[in-house]
A and B are shown apart, each in its own frame.
Chain A
């Protein structure tokens, strides 16, 4: 017992965190990431699941699936939408304590065994075969097969249409829904049209109830001709919404053969209206609040660094990604909206913030070094060139992934150069020349354009390329809300 408690305490010293954030969870996600805990790449590797603000039904059920999928010791944190930086830190500290709490974790593990699976809802007779026939308690294996994922490999596919679930890591989490009976999956696919397309196109996935190809309650993969004209298994794999280094709240339903995406449908749709975190200074100024231009530029620079951090992480350059995120966090340290306070009056920002201004000088130098390093990397250029080609009409999204990286580096550098601009920000959203968000200057529709471009760019791309393309566009789904569209 003593040893287990000791190990639990040490294991809790740096627990990997999996963050679930919707389009409006950006602010809280940034606060969580600023705490510096390691980011988990999959539910299996995560110790803490953090929900950022209210999630909405689909995202909440995805989060529940991921939670069921996480092995103990584990802790769950739900942050209220208006949590301040201090509250976020306190909530994470509390999670750490509960991770180290031996009795609580043992109780959770025992409950996990009994609740992770809901055979009562299973209409499919094959399901009952999959319920545990032996008590796994001795082995410490949290329940049985259903606990985990559904995969794809043997071809039996994550398969069809679990838009409800799309957990991270291959949408594994979705399996619960499937296993929970296909009725559930029907309901979910009814939720938005995209999934129906898949069920139509997915070959074998059409059969839902106990047809021949069902293995363990999951339909066998369908087949289709691949790009070389071979008949290969088709897997239906949702990417997002719970996935590390992925745009907040984005879901791309894909049909894959091997690791090549054949078809991609972007599922956005978020009923709740809200504001984009990255647009806030401009929107606030338009409503007559005093905002300095420097504060807006700070937000713009941080937005680009956030996107660059994602791209560099997906590009397999964790060291550079860490630098980008560290710079972002340093910039946002003096961002009052992020910290949860009201925006400071312009004059108060001018006086008494010497310490922050000095810090900013370091940021300028450190950013220059970071940008030089990324620009000079020949391997990065070799890997990114020619991917995700967008034509020249879409000015700031044009070119390949590498062009977009360079453009972001430049835009962030320019914004950082203007941090000391204390002139008041004046925004007239009614006029054509809207200046707001990461790309500013009448470019507020860029997220919509990026989302519209995605399916075309992803088709035929390998998974690794697809991740890089998405990260290079990094659409801000909060800009798609009706409110944002009208300013």
Chain B
């Protein structure tokens, strides 16, 4: 069955696939880092971190790598592309 593409601005996503993240868990394991602290580390606003964490917004590749760098883990430990 052909997949339907939904244009979300910075990324394309298929309707039965979704980018998930472990940012909330990783923040907890890093001395309960706040969203603001993470936002300051990667140079974005707290609102952007909140939108990424809630999977409402898919970050650019550069921002995704920066977030992974803050937690000192590979990118695939922060973000995953999953079928739901």
| A in complex with B | no
Interface residues of A (CB under 8 A from B): none
